C-alpha cells in the first residue's frame, strides 16, 4: 500500500528520533474532507523505534481527550532512507509551535490567560492519570499550541493547548526509582523535575503536578520558571534536597509575591516538597484560581453574545416589516383563493 505522507522540513531532533512536517502524498475529495493536509512525523531507525511504538500504544489509550495530541495510528509507516529502515509515527500538527516557543517569542502572559491554559493542561493530566499513566516530562516545549480554539475560549485566549511527547511516559506504580548516587537517570527535564524524581528517581503522577506548577510560573513570569537555567543537575538536586521549603518559594523566586493570592496558593499546592501533600489534577480543577477565572470567562462570553445581539438588532428590525408583509400577502392570496370556491 502506498504511503499517505511525504516527509518535509525537519522540526527537531530528540533522544528517540527526529520530527518532520509531512504533507499528503496524494489528494482526493475523500482525503481532503476526512484527514488533515499536513501532519507531524516522528521518525527513528526501525531497530531503535521501541519508544515510538510504545508512544503509539499510549496515545491509542489516551485518544479522545481534546487536550492531548492526536495520533493517526493507522497511518504509521516504514521508509528506507540512505539504506536505513525507519519507523514513522504520524501525529496531528499545527505550525503555531509549542508553548515554549510562544513564551520565548512573546514573553509572559496574564494570570487570566495562564489560568485558562492551566485548566486545559489539568484536563489533559486528569485524563492521563485516569488511564493509569505518568507523563514524566511536562514542560512548555512538550505542550503544543493549536489555532483551533474551542468555542468557549474564543476572544479570551489565542490557542488551544495539547500535551505532547509521551516518549518518557510510564505506567503509574511501575517501579523506576533509584537510590541517591546510583547511575540510573532521572526521567524528564531536570528544571521541571520534582524533589522525589530528581533526588530519589521516584516518578509518579505527582511529578507531573510539580512540572505543571513550574510551567504556570513560566507562563506568568516568562522563560525560566522556578529555577535558574544556570543550575547544573548536581547543584539542582542539592538545592531541592536541602534548601527547598514549601513556604519559601518567594526566597527562590522573589517575584512570586507579585502574584494574586489565588495564583500563589495554586502554585504552592503544585510545588509541595512532600509529593503526598501535592494536590491532584482533579483537586486543582476545583481551585479558585481555576474556577473563578472560568466564571469570568463565562461572563466575557455572555457579554460578547449580548454585544453581537445589539449589533444585529437594527438588521433584525429592518427585516420585520418585509417579513410581516410576506405573511400578510400569503394569507390574503390563500383567503381569496379559497373564497372563490366556497
Specify the 3-state DSSP secondary structure of 252: helix
Specify the 3-state DSSP secondary structure of 249: helix
Question: Residue 6's beta-bridge partner residues?
Answer: 23
- Nearest by Cα to 60 from 71, 49, 76, 75: 71
Alpha carbon distance 32, 38 (integer Å): 11
Dihedral sign, CA of 199, 200, 201, 202? negative
- Which single residue is written with the C-alpha cell 505506567? 171
Pair 216, 114: CB distance under 8 Å: yes
Q: Is 42 assigned a ligand-binding role in the annotation?
A: yes
Cβ atoms < 10 Å from Cβ of 252: 15
Pair 271, 247: CB distance under 8 Å: no
For residue 314, give the C-alpha cell: 437594527
154-158, long-range: CB within 8 Å, 24+ apart, which pairs? 155/300, 155/301, 155/304, 156/112, 156/113, 156/116, 156/297, 156/300, 156/301, 157/113, 157/116, 157/117
- Nearest by Cα to 194 from 174, 171, 210, 177: 210
Enclosing H/E stretch for 198: helix 195-199
Pair 225, 217: CB distance under 8 Å: yes
Alpha carbon distance 17, 48 (integer Å): 9
Would you list which residues are annotated within the binding site?
A: 42
Binding-site residues for ATP:
42
Amino acid at each position: 500500500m502506498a504511503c499517505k505522507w511525504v516527509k518535509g522540513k525537519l522540526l527537531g531532533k530528540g533522544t528517540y528520533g527526529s520530527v518532520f512536517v509531512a504533507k499528503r502524498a496524494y489528494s482526493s475529495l475523500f482525503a481532503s474532507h476526512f484527514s488533515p493536509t499536513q501532519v507531524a512525523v516522528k521518525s527513528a531507525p526501525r531497530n531503535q523505534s521501541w519508544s515510538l511504538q510504545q508512544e503509539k500504544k499510549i496515545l491509542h489509550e489516551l485518544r479522545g481527550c481534546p487536550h492531548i495530541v492526536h495520533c493517526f495510528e493507522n497511518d504509521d509507516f516504514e521508509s528506507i532512507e540512505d539504506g536505513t529502515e525507519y519507523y514513522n509515527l504520524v501525529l496531528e500538527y499545527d505550525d503555531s509551535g509549542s508553548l515554549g516557543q510562544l513564551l520565548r517569542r512573546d514573553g509572559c502572559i496574564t494570570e487570566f490567560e495562564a489560568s485558562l491554559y492551566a485548566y486545559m493542561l489539568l484536563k489533559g493530566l486528569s485524563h492521563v492519570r485516569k488511564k493509569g499513566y505518568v507523563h514524566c516530562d511536562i514542560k512548555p516545549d512538550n505542550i503544543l499550541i493549536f489555532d483551533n480554539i474551542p468555542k468557549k475560549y474564543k476572544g479570551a485566549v489565542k490557542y488551544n493547548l495539547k500535551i505532547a511527547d509521551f516518549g518518557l511516559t510510564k505506567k503509574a506504580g511501575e517501579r523506576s526509582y533509584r537510590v541517591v548516587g546510583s547511575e540510573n537517570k532521572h526521567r524528564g527535564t531536570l528544571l521541571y523535575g520534582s524533589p522525589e524524581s530528581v533526588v530519589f528517581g521516584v516518578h509518579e503522577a505527582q511529578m507531573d503536578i510539580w512540572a505543571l506548577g513550574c510551567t504556570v510560573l513560566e507562563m506568568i513570569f516568562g522563560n525560566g520558571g522556578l529555577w535558574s537555567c544556570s543550575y547544573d543537575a548536581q547543584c539542582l538536586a542539592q538545592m531541592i534536597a536541602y534548601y527547598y521549603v514549601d513556604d519559601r518559594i518567594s526566597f527562590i523566586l522573589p517575584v512570586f509575591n507579585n502574584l494574586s493570592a489565588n495564583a500563589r496558593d495554586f502554585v504552592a499546592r503544585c510545588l509541595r516538597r512532600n509529593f503526598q501533600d501535592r494536590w491532584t489534577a482533579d483537586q486543582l480543577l476545583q481551585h479558585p484560581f481555576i474556577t473563578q477565572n472560568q466564571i469570568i470567562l463565562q461572563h466575557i462570553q455572555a457579554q460578547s453574545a449580548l454585544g453581537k445581539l445589539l449589533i444585529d438588532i437594527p438588521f433584525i428590525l429592518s427585516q420585520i416589516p418585509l417579513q410581516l408583509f410576506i405573511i400578510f400577502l400569503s394569507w390574503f392570496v390563500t383567503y381569496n383563493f379559497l373564497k372563490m370556491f366556497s
